[in-house]
Chain A
Amino acid sequence: GAGVSQTPSNKVTEKGKYVELRCDPISGHTALYWYRQSLGQGPEFLIYFQGTGAADDSGLPNDRFFAVRPEGSVSTLKIQRTERGDSAVYLCASSEAENTEAFFGQGTRLTVV
């Protein structure tokens, strides 16, 4: 595809449930980022992949959050036992290399009720 694709665009889930958010980066982009954006805030860093490995996962808020990128392309952000405080827009971005511009997807709006 031409850009970064995120699915679903919206997800409503009940407190305590498990959710998976998917990111399809631009083909050939080795770097992939996950961010979380709450109302009125800039993107909050969650995790960064370089290829298949998580180069930096220091932004994951707790062990309920996990992300994978098994083949160095598509990434899945997984949230266990969701809480209302997890409600946010989850943004994915990819870039060709480390210091080149990042291209963002449209985001997944997660609402935990």
Chain B
Amino acid sequence: ILNVEQSPQSLHVQEGDSTNFTCSFPSSNFYALHWYRWETAKSPEALFVMTLNGDEKKKGRISATLNTKEGYSYLYIKGSQPEDSATYLCASSNQAGTALIFGKGTTLSVSS
């Protein structure tokens, strides 16, 4: 099974701060990288699916980049808001037909 690592484990920022966190994954046989947002008492919700080296995707104040050669992805949140407080999960698959393997997540807390 793939080893997907996320850092930091948790993060506390003030409203208006910009922040970023990291997902690292084995680069060999890379297939796809997913980011999910998981709020307390809800189901994980997909943010991005990325497959190509150099991919950059954006949804509102949240964006993500992908480096498949070195095996990492960054998630950026610009101007954090309290409603951004959640656990952010990344998941990777390493070949067509294999499962998505999740990291343990980065828990973000934004204070107003």
Which residues of A are in contact with B by a Cβ distance under 8 Å? 4, 33, 35, 41-45, 47-48, 50, 55-56, 58-59, 91, 93, 98-107
Contact = CB atoms under 8 A, between A and B. Distances in A.
Interface residues on B, range: 20 to 34
Contacts of A56: 97-99
Given A42-B89, A98-B32, A102-B46, A35 B102 contact: yes
A31 to B, nearest CB: 9
13 contacts: A41-B104, A42-B89, A48-B99, A48-B100, A56-B99, A58-B99, A59-B1, A98-B93, A98-B97, A99-B51, A101-B46, A102-B36, A103-B46
Nearest to A106: B43
Contact of B102 (A45, A58, A106): A45
Nearest to B49: A101
Contacts of A100: 49
Closest 4 CB pairs of A and B: A101-B46, A48-B99, A104-B43, A99-B32
Nearest to B33: A99
Contacts of A59: 1, 99
